[in-house]
Structure 1
Amino acid sequence: MWTRHHKKKKYGRLILPAVTIAFLSYFGYHSIHGDYGLKAGQEFERIRRERASELDKLVAQRTVLEKDVSLLSDGSLDEDIIDEKARYQLNMSRPDEIVIFNTYF
């Protein structure tokens, strides 16, 4: 009776570690560089800070405009406010006045 003895191949031992390394490398790369990875989170945080600062500027601008509108539309118009707005829009002043421009924007 003939028996065959199979010689164990050296490559069989390396299959599982190679698959494991490939698996961990794939997910490790995408955890840093992927759409929801660490770098994408940093970029999202940077954009959020920029937009928060822009929102703060717009809220301050809106507050100033709301104050101006309340002075102009509360029923009793303040003549000084109307005069100031008209001079600013028309870019006019009297010869004996000193004009200091303070823009809101």
Structure 2
Amino acid sequence: MNLDASPLSGTTGLVIGIALGVQLLFAVIGLVVLVRTPRERVQFGRKWPWALIIVFINTIGTVLFLAIGRRPAPVDVSAPTSANAAGTVQSLYEGDQR
């Protein structure tokens, strides 16, 4: 089969190539973030539907996953040991005093 690429030469081919590259980059980023996200933080508790969305809905699927597919990470709100600046400085530089 002989394909004639003359309609895709020049600017049109470049634009299509860049668009495909960006789409592939988004899919890879989305899948890497999905793999690194713990199952507890994934919306609906399962990763495989999000993988299908990222792969088959292309760029929009990745944006959807990054926007609504993950729950926020839990924040550690442990109380500081000292309430004033002097206590904070002392706790930071406690081992450096000579």
Tell which structure's C-alpha radius of gyration is larger. 1
Which TM class, normalised by the smaller chain length? Answer: 0.3 to 0.5
Asked which structure has the greater RCO (Cα within 8 Å, sep 6+), the reply is 2
TM-score (norm 1): 0.32
